[in-house]
Amino acid sequence: MPALSWRPPRAGVQLQPLVNALRDVVLGQQVIHADETPVQMLAPGSKKTHRSYVWAYATSQFCETAAVVYDFSPSRAGEHARNFLQDWKGKLVCNDLGGYKASFELYTTNKSQLAEQTLRYIQLLYEIGSEVRGLEPDLRRRRRQENAVPAMDRLHAWMIAQRDLVPEGLAISRALDYSLKRWAALSDGAVPIDNNWAENQIWPWALGRKNWLFAGSLRSGKRAEAIMSLIQSARLNGHDPYAYLKDVLTRLPTQRASEISELLPHKVATGSRIGRVSIRELVRLIYRF
């Protein structure tokens, strides 16, 4: 069976300065989406695999610059996220779905009226978010202030009132506590309503692992992360990813280090100097590096 142990060639190494520049772009944003997915990796000196993780760090869908950088890590430990983010300061949007999941499960399994009302409020907020999604940033912010903030205030007051009526230890009380303790983050108008954007960026890995099954080593995973970061960022910017990589790999050897960022997907005009290229041609080009 095919596996990521095909060991991505040295193109992953050659592309690393460009990926580093892409990482700087992502870390230059005030709002970053993050998500992770498990990937099996072959343990050193063993024929057995263990669970490693790929993290995706993406600019917001509302950001003018579309970019995503992947980080292949041997575990899910928080130290890997800290190593990637380093001294970055901003708003990190990541999955923390316990409160919503608890409300949803209470409604679907127990037909809880409190959970049903909570979901109705959440549905209203999604409808407001959908209405303003395509607007200019200033107008979107103003509409959210006019419509979403009052809805959030009503939800907050309702949850506080219900929490006073619900006995300790019940599932609904834990769901309410979960959300109320995180209310400051939930009511921040600068961040999207969910983390679906990051989940979309992690999907290529979830889909790909069905084909290559496992990474042959940490080094293989790191090289793959570099190539995949550029492929997915190219897609986000409207490029044919194979044609984009061919163009980059052709120009990279003579590109000045001080001008490396000019080869980033969001800097290269869609279609300029880039034609379509076959996968076979791209593979030949990659293995030359």
Averaged pLDDT for residues 187-197:
75
- E strand segments, 128-191: none
- For residue 277, the tally of other CB atoms under 10 A from its CB is 17
pLDDT interval class at 99 (50, 70, 90): very low
CA 143, CA 150: separation in Å to the nearest integer? 11
Whether 204 shows a pLDDT value over 90: the answer reads no
Q: What is the mean pLDDT of residues 224-251?
A: 89
DSSP 8-state class, residue 91? E
Direct distance between the N- and C-terminal alpha carbons of the chain, in angstroms, rounded to an integer? 26
- Contact partners, residue 265, CB within 8 Å, separation at least 6: 22, 66, 67, 230, 233, 234, 236, 237, 239, 244
- Give percent above pLDDT 70 in the chain: 80
Closest by Cα among 225, 229, 279 to 41: 225
Domain boundaries, the chain: 4-94+195-236, 98-186
Radius of gyration of the chain (CA): 22
Instruction: Please give the structure tokens belonging to residue 197.
Output: 């954007």
pTM: 0.77
Q: Give the closest residue to 6 by CA, choosing from 220, 246, 249, 184.
A: 220
Q: Cα–Cα distance between 148 and 142 in angstroms, integer?
A: 10
Q: How far is CA 198 from CA 4, 59, 93, in A?
A: 23, 9, 9
- Whether residue 265 contacts residue 233, with contact meaning beta carbons closer than 8 Å, is answered with yes
- Per-residue tokens: 100: 């919503």
DSSP E strand boundaries for the chain = 31-42, 49-59, 68-73, 91-93, 214-215
Q: What is the pLDDT of residue 105?
A: 55
pLDDT digits (tens, 9 = 90+) for 146-191: 888 888 889 889 889 988 888 888 777 887 888 888 777 665 666 7
Q: What is the mean pLDDT of residues 83-106?
A: 72
Which 8-state DSSP code applies to residue 122?
A: H
Residue 60 has pLDDT above 70, yes or no: yes
Confidence of residue 61 (pLDDT cuts 50, 70, 90): confident
User: Which has the higher per-residue pLDDT, 285 or 79?
Assistant: 79
